[in-house]
Amino acid sequence: MNKNKQFVINLTASLVNFVVNMGIGFAITPFIVGRVGAEAYGFTGLANTMVGYATLFTIALNSVAGRFITVAYHQGDKRKADAYFSSALAANLVMTLVPTAIAIPLIINLEHVIRISPHLVTDVKWLFCFVYLNYVVATMSSVLSVATFIKNKLYLSSLANIAFSVVRITVMVVCFALFPTYVLFVGLGTCLAQLTLAILNYMFTIRLTPELRIRWKAISLRATWTMLSSGIWNTVIKLQQILQNGLSLLIANLAISPLHMGYLSIAQVVPNALITLTNTISGLFSPEQTRLYAQGDHNALLDELKTGMRITGLFTNVIVVTLLINGSAFIALWQPSQDTHMIYMLMMLTLSGFFFTGIASTLQAVPLLVNRLRNYSLSWLACGIISLVVTLVCVKFSNWGIYAVAAVPQFIDILANITVVPVYASICLRLSWLRFYPVYAQYLASTMLAIILSSFANTMLNIPQTNWIGLLLACAVTALLTFASDLLLLLGERERMVLLHKLMQWKKLQDSR
């Protein structure tokens, strides 16, 4: 299949997956909050972030296993690819034992670790239990997702993720409808959905890469150590993410209040969806980038990186600008019974950091691609430590409260994404450290133009946003203006030609009908 056609298929499936997840997220969040309350809902986000700490034990392996398996596969060394595949699966089985030994007593004594209202203690403990089981299943099955990556058929992963979302929402709705209201149903739905995803990825592995099999004789300590020694620096990056963003809900719970933690958790729904979209779209370029690097085609690799930056930035830009212009009305309609002003401010503060992540995410994968993670990881760890210290100082000695918890990590993230990321990527590829900054400049110029045009259109058209139809119409206008701005200032000739080619194909198809 032509690589451009394959990319469009993967992109379309990823966007459908994003829309489904966003739609479900928007629909289910007020549904859950309305039944269990903002405080109880906040524990769903806290459970996910705290259980996420357990990935420190496994991320060193799982973050690089796909890269090693794919490179060996494309280099024709099927024996080595098989060794990496089987070794990763076996190592995950062993490494999940350590966090399990910590998780069991922690969950049993959870009310002594975090602040929980007495009537929620048992419910929240079961929530944490199911969320942790979800982590175990996800860890054990993570290597199975490599098949769609190797064959560059990421649309299958998107379809599997859509199935994940459908199972998750179905279980939650059925449980809330048939049984007394408990927040643990959120964890139960996620856990069963993860089992479904694991089964689908196993089926894709059998179908796409029959050469890769779980063979105990192929398990190799040497292969495991090769992956761990490379991926250990991703553990450092994960630690940075925990220090910088992963502790926000915990700090809110312990230093401010469970209610404010709930508001922050609600405000993070859209930013978390955006970061998922960003990682998904930038990840669409990874199979081709890995192939080009493995084959030594550095000029084509550079073009692919810039294309990834622009296309990922386009989607981020459209969402961030649309929410900046129309977000207040959206929150008022989405969470009318909550403190809408606080939630909107927390949402925009959180989105500010993810704004630059959109264009930087493609470059964030370069150190892993070239296997030069040490200095990059240590730089991010320094950012995480600074972020945590400054956040705690602001919470302790200022009256900024929950706003400091939301704002400080994003400010540090912005600085890192416009300095460390592009400079280190250039060093890894032996380019001038200024090589990627023209794309950054195009991104900022496009954003400023989009904000000006959207603000003007919002004033001139004065579309009432007191109902969902008016809000969606206003959002559509903002999104179209932002897309036009990106088409003019952000996208390069290569990206425009791909879009034009696909539009012409679509027109011919319509004419033939």
> What DSSP string runs through 429-497?
TT--TTTTHHHHHHHHHHHHHHHHHHHHHHHHH----SSHHHHHHHHHHHHHHHHHHHHHHTS-HHHHH
Has residue 363 been placed in a domain? Answer: no
Question: Helix 298-334 to helix 340-364 angle, to the nearest 10 degrees?
Answer: 170
Calculated CA dihedral for residues 85, 91, 92, 96, nearest 10 degrees: 180
Instruction: Give residue 314's pLDDT.
Output: 87
- pLDDT at 482 (0 to 100): 93
Q: Is 2 left (phi over 0), alpha (psi -120 to 50) or beta?
A: beta
Q: How many CA atoms lie within 13 A of 506 on its CB side?
A: 8
Q: Does 105 fall in a domain?
A: yes
pLDDT of residue 11: 64
Which residues constitute the domain of residue 137?
Answer: 1-58+96-214
Helix, strand, or coil here: 250? helix
3-state secondary structure of 370: coil
CA–CA dist 365, 301 (Å, integer)? 13
**Integer Cα distance of 205 and 156 in angstroms:** 11
pLDDT of residue 473: 93
6, 9, 13, 19: CA torsion to nearest 10: 130
The pair of structure tokens assigned to 498 is 């791909």
Asked whether residue 334 is assigned to any structural domain, the reply reads: no
- Is 399 a domain residue? no
Among 355, 201, 256, 224, CA closest to 46? 256
Q: Which parts of 53-120 fold into alpha helices (H)? A: 59-74, 78-95, 97-108
With respect to residue 370, please indicate whether it lies within any of the assigned structural domains.
Answer: no
Please state the length of the chain. 513
Distance between first and last Cα of the chain: 24
Determine, yes or no, domain membership for 5: yes
Which residue is associated with the tokens 């600074």?
386
**Strands in 270-317 per DSSP E:** none
Q: Is residue 319 part of a domain?
A: no
Per-residue pLDDT of the chain in tens (513 residues, 90 and over written 9):
455 565 666 666 666 666 666 666 666 677 677 766 777 777 887 887 777 777 777 777 777 777 788 877 777 777 777 788 888 888 888 888 888 888 889 889 888 888 888 888 888 899 889 989 988 888 888 878 777 877 777 778 778 888 888 888 888 888 888 887 788 888 898 899 989 988 988 888 888 877 777 777 777 778 888 787 777 777 777 777 777 777 788 888 887 888 888 888 888 888 877 777 777 777 777 777 877 877 777 888 888 888 888 888 888 888 889 988 988 888 888 887 778 888 899 988 988 887 888 888 888 888 878 878 778 888 888 888 898 899 889 888 888 888 988 888 889 889 999 998 999 988 888 888 888 899 899 999 999 999 999 999 888 888 888 888 998 999 999 999 999 998 888 887 777 776 665 455 544 544 554
Sign, CA dihedral 334-340-343-347, equals positive
Q: Which residue do the tokens 């995480």 mark?
A: 384
Dihedral sign for Cα atoms in the order 334, 335, 339, 344 = negative
- Token pair in block for residue 499: 């879009």
How many domains, the chain? 1
| Alpha carbons 217 and 400: distance in angstroms, whole number | 58
- Residue at 165 is within a domain: yes
- Can you give the pLDDT at residue 513? 47
Residues 6+ apart with CB under 8 A from 99: 54, 57, 58, 135
